[in-house]
Amino acid sequence: MTAAPPPSSGSLLRVLGVAFGLAVIIGNTIGGGILRTPGTVAASLPTPALFIGVWLLGGLYALLGAVSVAELGAAIPRAGGQYTFASRAIGRYAGFVVGWSDWLSTCGSATAAGIVIGEYLPTFVPVLEGQTTAIAVAVILVFTFIQWCGVVWGGRTQELTSLLKALAFIALIVACFAVAAPAGAVAAVEAPPAPSGFAIAAAIVIALQGVLYTYDGWTGVIYFSEEVHDPGRDVPRAMIGGVLLVIAIYVLLNAALLYVLPIGAIAASKLPAGLAAETIFGAKGDTVIRVLAILSMLSAINAFMMMASRTLFGMSRDGLFHRAASRVNRGGTPAIALWIGAAVAIAFLFIGAFDQVVAVLAFFFVVSYTVSFSAVFILRWREPDLERPYRAWGYPYTTGLVLIGSVVFLVCAVLSDLENSKWALGALAASYPVYWFTQRFGRTVGG
């Protein structure tokens, strides 16, 4: 990263590179899910081949998705993530739905990460026992302050925390393969019966839902397309490279779990990575997993706060929120948008129905993917002369495949969680009057 002159109000600095892009994808994607999800996947697909195969299949979906969305990030280098593509391809209202749901869920994700740190940190600092909320607030504020100091500070912090996270996962993987577990360390657990016939397809769909949620986050770099040195080159490299790194870590970790644990033990565990660590390190296994979880959440919180600020910045610049949120400080940070996001993340800590709010918003992440894949087709047709420094490999087949996959996944998500889906559809129905008011608010009050 290099220094740049102070920006004017509403402008961002082009000081980020491929290293940051890789870091924000790793920070935004790899989290607590990979520590828990292998158990639910093994319960649905209790054979090693199917177990590993579904992680490869989920990785292929993420990779083809990255190949497609990278075209949009390279051609439309504007802050805001998938909100920008939805707005341009389908219209302001679609952008509003995608942008606001994305912003709120990202703030909520920062809250959830803060809670994990608040629950695990007292193991190492006993005096903090019972201070989960206070710790979460402090962590959110610390990362907010770092980013307020400037985009270079936030970028360097992302690169460092993501590197530590990746190294920690690699160390666990190496330990699983290198350290022989003592005989009888894991009690024999009978694996669930393997599905057969048409039941295999249903089991794969169920397992794939959890896998795709675990891979969610590979779009991280597109929120910063306006801030990378050369978006036409850096965005595709970061997206595709980042997804390949995540696939490698996920597949190797699951292979390592199979090396240490029988498939039945993985299927019966709510935290298979923790069971593997206890098998290898004994009583210290819990400490290993807590350190891994804390490192994962530190990297994630920094990514979430940076992304949320860019989403709100983009929407406010387009008149969907008060124009003040589009102001950028001398360090290149959308400072007001950043602090608003921090306030919302902290407010979530005190909302009793926080888990339900996050579950409802999770419905929209699949909608966002569906809209983005559709945007590739729409803009190819509507704007054929748009300069595209990078074109999706295998278009239209690769993009069409992930679009169909996202629609199928959306239907499955609705059917598998009807209660929260009803709330999500209700929120969608009520969003237009809110959109109308917000648009007027952004234009008249914001100037």
Q: How far apart are CA 444 and CA 439, in angstroms?
A: 8
pLDDT score recorded for residue 6: 41
Distance CA 173, CA 11 (A): 42
Rounded CA gap, 162 and 105, in Å? Answer: 21
The pLDDT score that the predictor gives to residue 4 is 42
Q: CB-side exposure of 32: number of CA atoms within 13 Å?
A: 17
- From CA 426, how far away is CA 50, in angstroms rounded? 37
Q: What does the pLDDT read at residue 8?
A: 43
pLDDT at 353: 64
pLDDT at 110: 93
Residue-range domains of the chain with CATH: 18-445 (1.20.1740.10)
Q: Would you state the pLDDT for residue 180?
A: 62
* Structure confidence by residue, pLDDT tens digits, 281-328: 888 888 999 999 999 999 999 999 999 999 999 999 998 888 899 999
Q: Which residues of the chain have pLDDT under 70?
A: 1-10, 180-189, 191, 352-356, 358, 439-447
Nearest C-alpha neighbor of 249 from the set 225, 217, 224, 280: 217
Q: What are phi and psi of 130, to 5 degrees?
A: 85, 5
Given a contact cutoff of 8 angstroms between Cβ atoms, the answer to whether 215 and 62 are in contact is yes
pTM of the complete model: 0.90
Q: Which residues of 147-183 are buried (b: 16+ CB within 10 A; e: fewer)?
A: bbebbbbbbbbbbebbbebbebbeebbebbeeeebee
Q: Give the model's pLDDT for residue 447.
A: 40
**Distance of alpha carbon 323 from alpha carbon 313, whole angstroms:** 9
- In this prediction, residue 440 carries a pLDDT of 67
Q: Are 207 and 44 in contact (CB under 8 A)?
A: yes
Give the whole-angstrom CA distance, residue 312 versus residue 329. Answer: 15
